[in-house]
Amino acid sequence: MIKVAMIGFGGIAQAHRYAYWHFNKAGLPVQLIAACDADPEKFKTVTKINIPLRGEIQNELPFTAYSDWREMLEKEKPDLVDICLPTRFHKSVAIEALKLGFHVMCEKPMAESYADCVEMVATAKEAGRHLMIAQCVRFQPEYEYLQKAVSEELYGPLKTSEFYRYSPIPTWSKDKWQVNAGKTGSCLTELNIHDMDVVQAIFGLPEQISCEMQSNVYPYDFADSKFVYPTHTVSIKSAWYDETHVFSAGYRVEFEKGVLEHKNGQVFFTDRAGHTQTIEVEDADGIMGEIRYLVKMLDAQSDNYRNPPEHSAQTIYSLEKCYESADAGGVLLRYGEAL
């Protein structure tokens, strides 16, 4: 049984908690044994965020609640530490947990800088422990299908592609750290990064990058990044709107034989003659997918070939390039050397 202890029990932690409960019930060897949050109120209610939970949180598998994560790790000695803290804590807590000998899953974005990510990767290697960043879109069935369509050339060669992610502004955190962190908490860092990561997983590292950002209603609430490859360019748009907005994310990828679209939670292929076919994909989300993958990987003691931390570090490298471009008015930059 893989024993899990979570650090940070706010918004996204509830989706992780649901996944551990669900997979335990489904017979996977995993159990949430403890969770820690500096705010004891977080254990009394289920914090709601911009994306709905897959199902009702059930309390039939109780875990021990802590307010001090060092005390929790010392007493509980879990196999896996799952970090759902605000981004500014990711590096220091992940490094300490790895050095103590625990496997670590840490929410995205991996850290505040590429240099910090490199340190985290090196620490995991030295400790001989797994470090996986929760880049959940890689594990979302709609994007897994796109990856298959591209790698197997199901619809012929690729021509153009657009990705988008629009969300209500995050307001569930007490200090609203996502909005108040300035650029490092912007919609580029919080939203666009999901698509940057999956774009790199599907198409590889770009040759050039550019990004334009705007502050319309909230600071840095719109981002438009471009990843330039030898034969095509990927456009990624993301925005934060007011609290009444309904979250949406998707893609539109044009192949020689037609257009593959992910919208309203479904995937469609429309051929050149205008015939549209719905593509059946698994009814699951990326957080469920990444946690199932990690549990199976730890149980089988196998390698993390789908989402190694080096890839997440590369995504932070791309994020830094996007800020560099946006600061210079959206100029196109050469990608340079990442990990």
Q: Give the interface with ligand NAD as residue ranges (CB under 6 A).
A: 7-13, 36-39, 42, 47, 49, 69, 84-87, 107-108, 134, 136, 172-173, 190
What's the min distance (Å) between Cβ of 199 and ligand NAD? 16
What's the min distance (Å) between Cβ of 64 and ligand NAD? 14
Residue number, 190 or 261, with CB nearest to ligand NAD: 190
What's the min distance (Å) between Cβ of 228 and ligand NAD? 26
What residue number has its CB nearest to ligand NAD?
Answer: 10
What's the min distance (Å) between Cβ of 157 and ligand NAD? 31
What's the min distance (Å) between Cβ of 75 and ligand NAD? 15
The H-assigned helical ranges of 26-82 are: 69-76
Q: For 55-195, list the strands marked E by DSSP.
A: 64-66, 80-83, 103-107, 131-134, 158-168
Residue number, 120 or 158, with CB nearest to ligand NAD: 120
- C-alpha span between 239 and 224 (Å, rounded): 9
Residue number, 164 or 269, with CB nearest to ligand NAD: 164
In 3D space, the residue among 199, 196, 225, 193 whose CA is nearest the CA of residue 212 turns out to be 225
Residue number, 286 or 308, with CB nearest to ligand NAD: 286
Residue number, 124 or 134, with CB nearest to ligand NAD: 134
2: left (phi over 0), alpha (psi -120 to 50) or beta: beta
What's the min distance (Å) between Cβ of 131 and ligand NAD? 15
What's the min distance (Å) between Cβ of 307 and ligand NAD? 13
Residue number, 173 or 270, with CB nearest to ligand NAD: 173
Label each residue of 177-192 as H, E or C: HHHHCHHHHCHHHHHH
Are 339 and 125 a contacting pair, CB within 8 Å? no
> Hey, is 49 helix, strand or coil?
coil
For 107, phi then psi, to 5°, come to: -60, 160
Residue number, 8 or 258, with CB nearest to ligand NAD: 8
Q: In angstroms, what CA-CA distances link 221 with 166, 261, 330?
A: 10, 25, 16
- C-alpha span between 211 and 65 (Å, rounded): 42
